[in-house]
Each structure stands twice: as structure tokens, then as C-alpha cells.
Amino acid sequence: QSEQREKGITPSTREIQKHFRFASQTSVMQYIAALERKGFLDRHARKARALITPVQKVRITDVPIYGQIPAGMSALTEQTIEGHVSLDARSANASKNRGTFALRVRGDSMIGAHIVDGDIVILEDSKEVQNGDIVAALIDGETTLKRYVMEHGRSYLKAENPRYPNLIPARELKIQGVMISLVRKQERRKRH
């Protein structure tokens, strides 16, 4: 935006590539396309260097936190609201039509997916689950956070830590929510 203000034009893809140290201009174009899809950039149809950042209408929503979910071995959990997390529904990919809820992560079975103990996962109540989605699931009466995998017509839950086994349902596997976002509370360092 500073270059746009100073020169009246947006930087070229080559300038963006150099500034952010991208390997190629193709990478720049992929990032620009992703930002356009998410609504963070608009492109003027008839100009080459005319990207604009639209005025964002932030839609803050309070998402209920329903306790903790094990990211380790599955366990029984209660469904009491322990608080709320406020976030921009648009940047969290939250839909107006689906029930959005949050769970605090307990354990380390999802560290390979960069989900750590204490994180808050934002989930949507969804009937549609895709192979590879991270889900809150009820498996044989116990709740856990894992990656949903479908292979050879059978589904199971996969941990993102090699110390934990895959969970193959003996009786039931019910998806309670599909992860759409993550909130990480940064710990403040003490000043000496």
C-alpha cells in the first residue's frame, strides 16, 4: 500500500517477488489469486498494475468454547460452555449457515499439523467431511481431535504425531465438527 500511495500504482509482480523473496513470479500470482479469492484484494479489470485493497467489513462473532478436546488418546468430554473467543468470521472462514464452535486442545497428537496443547480450534458443525480434514469426532463413545482419513472404503482417524496410533472405529465414528481455523494464545515473556 505504501508504494501505491507514493507512486500511484501497485508494485509489479517482479517487485513483489523481490521484496518477499519468492522463487518465481508464478508464486506471486498464486498468492495474489488467493488474496483475491478471500476478498483481501480486488483487481481493476482493464489495468495491469491495479490491485486495490477493498474496505473490509469485519464481522466479529463470539464463538462458544465447549471445554477441551483431547489431541492424544480419546476421552469422554462434557459439553459445557467455558467461555467465548471473539474473531473475524470472514478471516476464520466461518459460515453464517453452520454452527461454529470452539474447543481447547489438550495433548500433543496433532503437533505435525501445528496444533499444540492449549490452542483453540474453531470448528463448524458439518455433515460433509473431506478426506484429510481435521475433525472433532466421537469414536466408540469417546471424543478426540484427529485427521479424517478414508482408504479403501473405510474411514479412520489419524494422529499427526508418530507416537500415537491410528484410531479405527469398532462400532461408531461420528464427526462432530470440521476444523476451519485455529487460535493460538501467545504467552507473554516476563521482562527483567
Tell me what pLDDT residue 76 has: 44
Can you give the pLDDT at residue 125? 86
Average pLDDT over residues 54-75: 70
All three cell numbers of 181: 481455523
Residue 146 annotated in active site: yes
pLDDT for 53 equals: 58
Contact 121, 131 (CB under 8 A): no
Check 146, 155, 158, 190 and give the catalytic one. Answer: 146
| pLDDT tens by residue, 24-56 | 989 988 988 888 787 777 776 656 666 655 555
- Number of Cβ within 10 Å of residue 177's Cβ equals 26
- In the chain the domains, ranked by start, together with CATH numbers, are 2-52 (1.10.10.10), 60-183 (2.10.109.10)
- CB distance 129 to 175 below 8 Å: yes
pTM score above 0.95: no
pLDDT of residue 67: 81
Contact 64/145 with Cβ under 8 angstroms?
Answer: no
CA distance 73 to 159: 9
Please, where are the H alpha helices in 39-187? Answer: none
Q: Which of 109, 174, 185, 190 is catalytic?
A: 109
Q: Has residue 57 got a pLDDT over 70?
A: no
Euclidean distance between CA atoms 51 and 36, whole angstroms = 9
Give the range with max mean pLDDT: 25-29, 53-57, 80-84, 144-148: 144-148
Is residue 109 part of the annotated active site? The answer reads yes
pLDDT averaged over every residue in the chain: 80
